[in-house]
Amino acid sequence: MNRLVVFCCLLCIPFMSKAQFTISPKVGVNYLWVGERPQGLDLTGAEKGWQAGVDLRLGRRFYFQPGVYYVNTGTSIASIEDLKNIKTGKASFIKIPVNVGYKLVNTGIFKLRIHGGGAASKILAVKEGGDMSMADFNTWSYGANFGAGIDILLFSVDANYELGLTDLYATQVGSKPSMLSLSVGLKF
């Protein structure tokens, strides 16, 4: 993972010398679904969690946006064969999104942005006290994400949706995660 972070940082160096550079620390809430995708904005069946991290935005109207986040969320596995066999727990991940974006509105005090790209997530820990363990998870999971955000002066608000491309659980086929996250932050 350290090599990936170093690679992303080195990739950013050429952009920093010629482009607008913004650092945006953020915190927020997330809703995780595993398996069946949610319909609309229905939060039924979602596990609620939180995240904190930082994004870099490199560019003016078009921009490159790598980031790194600590994500904590609830999770559960239900066995199809035996509905009484349900495992629950809290898991934490390091998430590394890499997006490209476009500022639809780009004024001095207000910006409306859209972005999309990919994200890699690495399991860090499973909280003790639940039925789940690290062995229940794949070490890495990958997803495609898209979102929108607004900047007003030095404040930033973002909404992102990540569509899992790989299974989250090591022993359960079809456990692709979907995550909706809402974040607020500052931009420097």
pLDDT of residue 128: 65
For residues 168 and 34, what is the distance between their CA atoms, to the nearest angstrom? 8
List of domains in the chain:
2-186 (2.40.160.20)
Its pTM stands at 0.82
pLDDT of residue 119: 98
pLDDT per residue as tens digits for the range 104-149: 999 989 999 999 999 999 999 988 666 778 888 899 999 999 999 9
pLDDT > 70: what percent of the chain?
Answer: 77
Amino acid sitting at position 152: I
Q: Of 34-43, 53-62, 65-74, 155-164, where does mean pLDDT reach its minimum?
A: 34-43
pLDDT of residue 139: 95
Highest mean pLDDT of the ranges 13-27, 39-53, 133-147: 133-147
Provide mean pLDDT across the span 145-171. 95
pLDDT of residue 24 exceeding 70, the answer is yes
DSSP line for 75-135: EEEE-SS-TT-EEEEEEEEEEEEEEEEEEEEE-SSEEEEEEEEEEEEEEEEE-TTSS--GG
For residues 134 and 72, what is the distance between their CA atoms, to the nearest angstrom? 14
Is the CB of residue 155 less than 8 Å from the CB of residue 184?
Answer: yes
Q: How confident is the model at residue 47 (pLDDT cuts 50, 70, 90)?
A: confident
Provide mean pLDDT across the span 32-61. 84
pLDDT of residue 135: 87
pLDDT per residue as tens digits for the range 170-179: 888 888 999 9
For residues 33 and 44, what is the distance between their CA atoms, to the nearest angstrom? 9
